[in-house]
Chains A and B, each alone.
Chain A
């Protein structure tokens, strides 16, 4: 009488549903969700010289860029919690962002021209991001200079926090904020990634 648990195990096992069938159904689901305004967060992963980047967008624009060291699964969980749990892998929705990032990493793009959804940055942090967006390609500024520029010269640490929690690094260039002593300083994608980005920009300065 060993066949009953065997049957029950086999019923719960879906091993021979071909992956292709489910992938095609997934594609159909993404299309239907887009048509029905139910795709609140679309994401994809882009391979870059600084490792795989997670890109996520709402209908309003790019809402997250995350490095591998930030944990892509954790970032997706965070998006489900803070934006909406209607999160689907939908690469084509990220085509414009992926294309421009690809151009940036190959030195052919110096400014990003894609809609951003900055709903994950509030108050002071949001002010800092707005200020960073004006920093030119290949240039750097100190944390202290940014604090001074937004009229809060004592908030140097808070500028550091704003950079560390930038929801769209690379696209909003917090990597261009460096220490007053000339050191590159910490970075949300790791200090080495910051040095790679700065070297890329210096090498392709106009």
Chain B
């Protein structure tokens, strides 16, 4: 058993990691956090155990990069007068975020993290707990609370 070419990692997991980045830092900064995540992953890739949960590994890196990014953003001085977005400059394909993903982004931090890292990235609760600085049991509770909140959004969306 050996590691597949990194290209297949990008193709298989790139979109979902972009989802995670968008939910964690918002659509504006998601591309930068995605880029930092994948360059760090590429650097470390040869040392990854071949039978690893690659999506979970990427989510762990994205989580740390996201935290660094948010800290740096919070330290940066606020722009006094933000220029209005010029259409065309952001002609960038806006990811058509369905209401479910907007609801994920709107969850409280722990619930959002627990949903993303357990349900989206497939990490076990013990690992999710470590990422979120809480216990395995707390991570499990947060994930279940998060899914309950999402379910009510979906129900409202249907009615």
Q: Which residues of A pack against B, CB within 8 Å?
A: 3-4, 6-8, 10-12, 14, 16-18, 20-22, 25-26, 28-29, 32-33, 36, 38, 41, 43, 76-77, 79-81, 84-89
The smallest C-beta distance from A91 to any residue of chain B, in angstroms, reads: 12
Q: Which residue of A lies closest to B152 (CB)?
A: A3
The smallest C-beta distance from A73 to any residue of chain B, in angstroms, reads: 9
A29 touches B10 (CB 8 A): yes
Q: Which residue of B lies closest to A36 (CB)?
A: B39
**0/1 interface trace, chain B 19-45, chain A, CB 8 Å (1 if under):** 100000000000100110011001101
By a CB distance below 8 angstroms, the chain B residues around A38 are: 39, 42-43
Partner of B35, one of A25, A84, A85: A25
By a CB distance below 8 angstroms, the chain A residues around B120 are: 11-12
By a CB distance below 8 angstroms, the chain A residues around B39 are: 29, 32-33, 36, 38
A10 to B3, CA, bound (A): 28
B93 touches A81 (CB 8 A): no
A76 to B8, CA, bound (A): 10
Partner of B7, one of A3, A84, A88: A88
Number of A-B contacts (CB under 8 A): 107
The smallest C-beta distance from B88 to any residue of chain A, in angstroms, reads: 16
What DSSP secondary structure best describes chain A's contact surface? helix
- In the assembled complex, 9 residue pairs joining A and B whose CB atoms fall closer than 8 Å, in A order, are A10-B98, A14-B18, A17-B16, A18-B93, A25-B35, A25-B38, A29-B10, A32-B35, A36-B39
By a CB distance below 8 angstroms, the chain B residues around A77 are: 2, 4-5
**0/1 interface trace, chain B 84-105, chain A, CB 8 Å (1 if under):** 0000000011011010100010
Partner of A7, one of B4, B6, B34, B151: B151
B119 touches A8 (CB 8 A): yes
Partner of A80, one of B3, B15, B34: B3
A43 to B8, CA, bound (A): 13
- Asked, given contacts A11-B119, A12-B119, whether A18 binds B14 with beta carbons under 8 Å apart, the answer is no
Q: Which residue of A lies closest to B32 (CB)?
A: A28
B15 touches A85 (CB 8 A): no
- Asked, given contacts A25-B34, A29-B35, whether A4 binds B16 with beta carbons under 8 Å apart, the answer is no
A36 touches B43 (CB 8 A): yes
By a CB distance below 8 angstroms, the chain A residues around B138 are: none
A91 to B139, CA, bound (A): 43
- Asked, given contacts A16-B98, A17-B15, A77-B4, whether A11 binds B93 with beta carbons under 8 Å apart, the answer is no
A14 touches B15 (CB 8 A): yes
By a CB distance below 8 angstroms, the chain A residues around B96 are: 16, 18
B95 touches A18 (CB 8 A): yes
The smallest C-beta distance from B128 to any residue of chain A, in angstroms, reads: 14
A76 touches B5 (CB 8 A): yes
Q: Which residue of B lies closest to A87 (CB)?
A: B5
Partner of A4, one of B6, B42, B45, B151: B151
The smallest C-beta distance from A139 to any residue of chain B, in angstroms, reads: 37
B45 touches A86 (CB 8 A): yes
By a CB distance below 8 angstroms, the chain A residues around B98 are: 10, 16
- Asked, given contacts A7-B154, A12-B16, A25-B18, whether A88 binds B93 with beta carbons under 8 Å apart, the answer is no
* B52 at interface by CB-CB < 8 Å: no
A3 touches B100 (CB 8 A): no
